[in-house]
Chains A and B, each alone.
Chain A
């Protein structure tokens, strides 16, 4: 017996990965109501519903017995793939496992990070009230422009299209986009582009100080970034399965 394992004989390796995931925060346990709302969303943005994996969060529900199987069926009928359940009491956990779904413990109450929790992020000065958040019709389809500083603990997402941040992304903040991420300021936090797997997506920033850069699930940590590039204007894109960072200045 040797503790050494021959690399060639291994069938797999375990790797830590950070994958973007859509959380579906249920506020009703009624499958019919979920079906109606999904049908509405599907007609608005069909691009989003392409066997998209979702985590069903039941933290806000107070139902010991959930019609989990029916809810999953409704999701699948609308091309959403439930992969796990988050929160809920013991019976919900058991039925999630019985359905072959994973179960995650509920999120800490002190760190609300649902997508909508960021939307009302208020501007920092009165001057910027009017145009803090806007989605220009027809300019970037489904993209989003955020004006102001994205602060530690905040998360700004463009679930479809590009995200443009006119301001800095501070350490501890997170910006995510289905398309590319553009930061007109210092990028000190985490930036994830191509969160639904778009390998052509890129990250652009004025001043690179990022904690984490990720394109389509391939990531680099601050430690992996060439120190000479820190503080410069760069673009980040996928080159094979490696992230390439090139200077734009």
Chain B
């Protein structure tokens, strides 16, 4: 049985898709058979971030509506063998998804995969609720910013009441906090909320902290998940996050402001 993990946030633009792609890639690189599903019907992006946009034929909606088989719609990642992508439809809207349809797709995928990563759309409407409904664990992506924290808080409330686990009274969904776009120097200046404040408000376990990094934008535009960029801080931070998801105890990095040494300033430093 696969573990179903939803990557969600409430607020848009915080890095859900980037994180879903990076974490799915990380899990696959560690040898887990992983599929990442784009639930953002009508505004699909995951295929771009994963660099497979030219290979999309069928999508999630086609599968749910019986117009294509699951194997026809699954796209095998070019870089990692045991990673698959199930894209969203760009032409339909979210009403094309049904609870029963999603359940059937997830059940079928569960037999073959170790991890199913659901990339949730922004908002708290139907698409987001369907993405989280069958999840065993949730990664709540939050930026160090008040509105993002409040939306994540709202999302955590929904995760605790609007999921199948909550409705059936099963063990509650595992909630993990992933802070993205963290910039320690701006935190020191007081421009951004600090790590401790976010943890205190949301009161859930921290699974990872991704520093604000040029590598992320570069990765998105190139269609290569940032996890592949092992020299970048963001790539390493996602690798750490994946290790923690797999139960390893990895110390937190990139949360403190490192003053540049004289030498690195003279020679322009490494890439960030």
Taking Cβ atoms with an 8 Å cutoff, the residues of A that contact B are 110, 117, 120-126, 129, 149, 151-154, 167-168, 170-173, 186, 188
Contacts and interface: CB of A to CB of B under 8 A. Distances in A.
Instruction: Classify the interface of chain B: helix, strand, loop or mixed.
Output: helix
Interface in B139-191: 150-151, 153-154, 156-158, 160-161, 166, 171-172, 175
16 contacts: A110-B124, A110-B125, A122-B160, A122-B161, A122-B166, A124-B156, A126-B171, A149-B156, A151-B156, A152-B153, A154-B157, A168-B200, A168-B201, A170-B153, A172-B154, A188-B201
B157 A151 contact: yes
B204 interface: yes
A186 B160 CA distance: 20
Given A122-B166, A172-B154, 18 more contacts: A110-B124, A117-B161, A120-B161, A121-B157, A121-B160, A121-B161, A122-B161, A124-B156, A124-B160, A124-B203, A151-B156, A151-B157, A152-B154, A153-B154, A153-B158, A171-B153, A173-B157, A186-B200
Contacts of A117: 161
Nearest to B166: A122
Residue among B124, B150, B158, B171 having the largest count of chain A Cβ atoms under 10 Å: B150
Contacts of A110: 124-125
B48 to A, nearest CB: 29
Contact of B150 (A122, A129, A172): A172
A172 B154 CA distance: 8
A132 B203 CA distance: 15
Interface of B: 124-125, 150-151, 153-154, 156-158, 160-161, 166, 171-172, 175, 200-204
A122 to B, nearest CB: 4
B160 A123 contact: yes
Contact of A172 (B125, B153, B160): B153
Contacts of B203: 124, 149, 167-168
B201 A170 contact: yes
Contact of A124 (B158, B171, B175): B175
A151 B153 contact: yes
B36 to A, nearest CB: 26
Contacts of B160: 121-124, 151
A126 B174 CA distance: 9
Nearest to B205: A125
A120 B203 CA distance: 19
A158 to B, nearest CB: 19
Contact of A152 (B150, B166, B175): B150
Interface centre among A129, A152, A168 (most CB of B within 10 A): A152
Contacts of B158: 153
A40 to B, nearest CB: 25
A221 to B, nearest CB: 17
Contacts of A154: 157
A186 B156 CA distance: 18
A234 B216 CA distance: 45
Contacts of A149: 156, 202-203
